[in-house]
Amino acid sequence: MRIVIAGGSGFLGSHLSDALVARGDQVVCIDNFVTGRRSNVAHLLDQDSFELIEGDICDAVHVDGDVDAVMNLASPASPKDYSAFPIETLDVGSIGTRNLLELARAKNATFFMASTSEVYGDPFVHPQTEDYWGNVNPIGERSMYDEAKRFSEALTFAYHRTHGVAIRVVRIFNTYGPRMQSDDGRVVSNFITQALRGDPLTIYGDGSQTRSFCFVDDEVRGFIALLDSNEIGPINIGNPGEFTMLELADLVTELTGSTAGIVFEPLPSDDPKQRCPDITQAREKLGWEPGIDLRTGLERTIPHFAAELGL
């Protein structure tokens, strides 16, 4: 297939580009490098099956030739980034998503929307199933990301119902692995970076809040399983193994040999107390489930951060 990936030089987008090129697809990567990195895809630039276009999907999107799928992974995804670019995040979820949907419509291509578990907000249902409507603060400090993704989902389904665009919608749960930026601001990168620098690990609140962590290779495998299926979604792709922040901190401390300990800070507003996917649909409809446990994934991730920090 010939596949356009918006945000294809980002953390997830670059791993997706790798996987698609490796299986024989042609990839057209579009990125404005606000949060993505050219270095993430530098190893693909000399391959005939990979093309890099520097551009902003909030402008009109033009791609010559046939296109089989348009995959929208374009958005700041860490609290640090979407807090720094709140309006841009809302724009990419609305204007950018619509431009990509128009491209898919014009090319008669499948449209793949990378949504997020953030659409569930601070959930009252646990683990979260795809039919749960969520508990989101539409004007809170995280709302620019939550509402951008919720709108993207609504727009994607509107194009499907109104124009017959073939769609796939995935809801991504916390993903980690190589190519995350050391200053990403998410908990895995925070903990590993602090531990490697010899700083205390910062836990917000009392550390009892939970997350589930999916290694990037598993996540990308789930994306491709959904893309290749006839399922519309939304479908949760994440690891249902649930860990408290204290448990994650203890594991990072063990694997890095850190002796700096832990410090506690106040919990940010609208921070979910629990986050864990129900992946029944992914198992039954896609034949997918994660295969890499947290310890193994962290062992594969920590050397990346050490190199990133020059350690």
| Nearest partner of 238 among 129, 112, 135, judged by Cα | 129
Mean pLDDT of 259-263: 93
Q: Give the separation between CA 219 and CA 22, rounded to whole angstroms.
A: 16
| Nearest partner of 292 among 138, 188, 127, 177, judged by Cα | 177
pLDDT in tens, 235-254: 999 999 999 999 999 999 99
Residue with the larger pLDDT of the pair 70 and 310 = 70
Q: List Cα–Cα distances, 278 to 12, 133, 237, 282, in angstroms.
A: 21, 14, 9, 9
Residue range 178-211+241-276+293-308 forms a domain whose CATH class is alpha beta
Q: Other C-beta atoms within 10 Å of 64: how many?
A: 7
Q: What residue spans define the domains of the chain?
A: 2-175+214-237, 178-211+241-276+293-308
Q: Is 19 in contact with 220 (CB distance < 8 Å)?
A: yes
State the pLDDT at residue 113.
98
Query: Residue 274: is its pLDDT beyond 90?
Result: no
Pairing of the two strands 242-244 and 210-212: antiparallel
User: On the CB side of 169, how many CA atoms lie within 13 Å of its CA?
Assistant: 23
State the pLDDT at residue 52.
97
Mean pLDDT of 115-129: 94
Q: Model confidence at 98, in pLDDT bands (50, 70, 90)? A: very high
Task: Name every residue whose Cβ is closer than 8 Å to that of residue 59 and which is 6 or more positions away in sequence.
Answer: 99
Mean pLDDT of 55-60: 95
Handedness of CA 288, 152, 272, 264 (dihedral sign): positive
Query: Residue 272: is its pLDDT beyond 80?
Result: no
State the pLDDT at residue 63.
96
Q: Model confidence at 290, in pLDDT bands (50, 70, 90)? A: very high
State the pLDDT at residue 310.
87
Q: Which fold has domain 2-175+214-237?
A: Rossmann fold (3.40.50)
Where do we find the tokens 């990125």?
A: 31
Query: Residue 271: is its pLDDT beyond 90?
Result: no
| 285 Rama sector, left if φ>0, alpha if ψ -120 to 50, beta otherwise | alpha
Q: Give the separation between CA 40 and CA 8, rounded to whole angstroms.
A: 9
Q: Give the separation between CA 33 and CA 153, rounded to whole angstroms.
A: 24
Mean pLDDT of 105-109: 98
Q: If you average pLDDT over every residue of the chain, what do you get?
A: 95
Query: Residue 311: is its pLDDT beyond 90?
Result: no
Task: Name every residue whose Cβ is closer than 8 Å to that of residue 197 and which is 6 or more positions away in sequence.
Answer: 309
Q: Which active-site residues does the annotation give?
A: 145
Mean pLDDT of 23-46: 96
Least confident piece of the model among 11-20, 115-124, 145-154, 266-275? 266-275
pLDDT in tens, 133-181: 999 999 999 899 999 999 999 999 999 999 999 999 999 999 999 999 8
Query: Residue 184: is its pLDDT beyond 90?
Result: no
